[in-house]
Chains A and B, each alone.
Chain A
Amino acid sequence: MTVLLEVSSLRTEFATRAGLVRAVDGVSLRVSRGECLGVVGESGSGKSVTFASVMGLVRPPGKVTGGTIFFDGRDLRDIAPEEMRAIRGRDIAMTMQDALTALNPALTVGEQLGEVLVAHDETLPAGRAARRAAIRDKSVEMLGLVGIPAPETRLRQYPHEFSGGMRQRIMIAIALACRPQLLIADEPTTALDVTIQAQVLELITDIRARLGMAVVLITHDLGVVAEHCDRVMVMYAGQVVEEGPTDQVIGAPRHPYTRGLLASIPRPSLRGQPIRPIMGQVPDLVGLPAQCRFHSRCPLALPSCLVEVPMMAAGPGRRARCLRLEEVAA
């Protein structure tokens, strides 16, 4: 499989009153065509900011300060804003956590779907009426694809007239309207009911298979990753701490943080045993010393861990940021 997105040593910083926050600190990752990469981490681990950086959507006071973002052979940090705009929505699309806030309350669903086509679709016919009809047909097709009944009438409605699950589907339809090569789904299920979560994830997986696009699934739910992703990347405090094929990472974690995450999931097979949460809190990202960031919460921590730890090979296709990675597997 060929590489679609390759990020190297990405650094994104936010200038705050308290000091410079390095929200993304030397993140490297790779997404192949058609692949599904799960990105796991708790709030503030930098997973969303990493992909906002890829999209060029980091707002001041945030700024991408280092690294390269190669997409389809081009460094997205190097290209003109207008080219970046053309890539957004056409080649890389994004869905957000909560469709209720991501859809514009004042515009019809049809307009919000159609405008992506207007912005990117060069196959639209030239004539005004023909163009309008083509946009309509494509919009209806997209709503059908994500499973919205009676799409013709639904196009004229506003977001508040839909249920939560429907809105999520509409947001996905908008993101997929131009058949992107990469979909970044930022916490697609967090805002939804459990029953609808499964449906939405099925939908994404199903469409991925049909369109052959790559998906980055950002989540804090390892269960979702286990079910839908080929590979997984675990982030902690702005760094990648472990990555590898999903079944291997979940079966035999190589970083104490991943192990901690797995141990804190309630499981029917472990009934009667207490859930083991990870003690302590994510460190303050201002002025972090160059040492293992999980150190203060790590059950395996040694005084020798107080050094800068690089990503190290941990088997075929696997890497982890831990000096004692051989001893992690519990």
Chain B
Amino acid sequence: MSDAALSLPPADSLFRRNLRDFRRNRLAMASLVVVLVFVVMAVAAPLIAPQDPNETDLFRRLQPPGWMAGGDWAFPFGCDALGRDILSRIIYGARISIFIGLAVIVLATGVGIAAGLAAGYFRGWVDVVISRIVDILLGFPYLIFAIGLMAMMGPGLLNIVLALAYKEWVIPCRVVRGETLAVRELEYVEAARALGAGPRHIMGREILPNILSPVIVVSTIRMAHVIILEASLSFLGLGVQPPTASWGSMVSDGRAFILEAWWVSTFPGLAILLLVLAINVASQGLRDAFDPRFSE
């Protein structure tokens, strides 16, 4: 242990070694592939989707999946109550889930890093103000907070992103603040200060690169949560408005027909499960490789 600490390898090779650790983790790599498949699906939805996701046809109402009696392989996962193709709607729904997940995480991580760095580096009243805001936001249950905001702002894609990001930034902020507090006293930061570097240089160039890996790990884990939250909002009817396809609202649509048409809510739910599970497993692999403090 002490030998390893004495001859610390340069940052670049540490990064590469971590990357190699990650690549060796087969389960995590497989999950990463699943995530990428979903991303490709979302980006290329118009090219991949076999049908128009919003085309209704009451003759196809609650048509079963392709392999069941009365099914048609042109609509492999069957049709919903308005006769829309479920597979195509899942493919288009991936756009919503992934877009909202990414947008919320990028926004929240950006804000969280800035606020966390400021709180941890300047301390004093800056820290007090930011930490109080964080505490207050933590005082609200997440979904309820988002529902309250959605009720105020009204539905819409941008509003969902905002409603979730309003609270989500707290999480990277706390991580960054804690790490900054620990790192700001280390010798190399002292050295930079002694050389006359300003706070912006120290925060951006000296501290940030050294605390980035836990932040990235936390952000990827949180992305899975955000996707579930968006689906929950859509399920409650507070998310993306119809007829736009979203996995949460698709599950909700099918709820009325669970007696006669199980496929309507089963497949979109499976899609959520698969994507969220893949993100979770991949991000845990990332954590084990890049932030060994937390690995078990």
Contact = CB atoms under 8 A, between A and B. Distances in A.
A43 B3 CA distance: 12
Nearest to B4: A18
A171 to B, nearest CB: 25
B53 to A, nearest CB: 51
Interface string A281-314: 0001000000000000000000000000000000
Interface string B203-233: 0000000000000000000000000000000
A56 to B, nearest CB: 24
Q: Report the contact-size class of chain A (Cβ under 8 Å from the partner).
A: under 10
Contacts of B3: 284
Q: Report the contact-size class of chain B (Cβ under 8 Å from the partner).
A: under 10
B245 to A, nearest CB: 49
Contacts of A44: 2
Interface string A19-60: 000000000000000000000000110000000000000000
A246 B269 CA distance: 75
Interface string B1-15: 011000000000000
A120 to B, nearest CB: 34
Nearest to A284: B3
A43 B2 CA distance: 10
Contacts of B2: 43-44
A284 B2 CA distance: 12
Nearest to A44: B2
Nearest to B6: A281
B189 to A, nearest CB: 28
Nearest to A43: B2
A225 B2 CA distance: 26
B21 to A, nearest CB: 12
A284 B7 CA distance: 14
Interface string B163-195: 000000000000000000000000000000000
A285 to B, nearest CB: 11
A44 B1 CA distance: 11
Interface in A272-287: 284
Contacts of A43: 2
A283 to B, nearest CB: 11
A44 B2 CA distance: 10
A22 B3 CA distance: 17
A48 to B, nearest CB: 14
A98 to B, nearest CB: 17
Contacts of A284: 3
Interface of B: 2-3
3 contacts: A43-B2, A44-B2, A284-B3
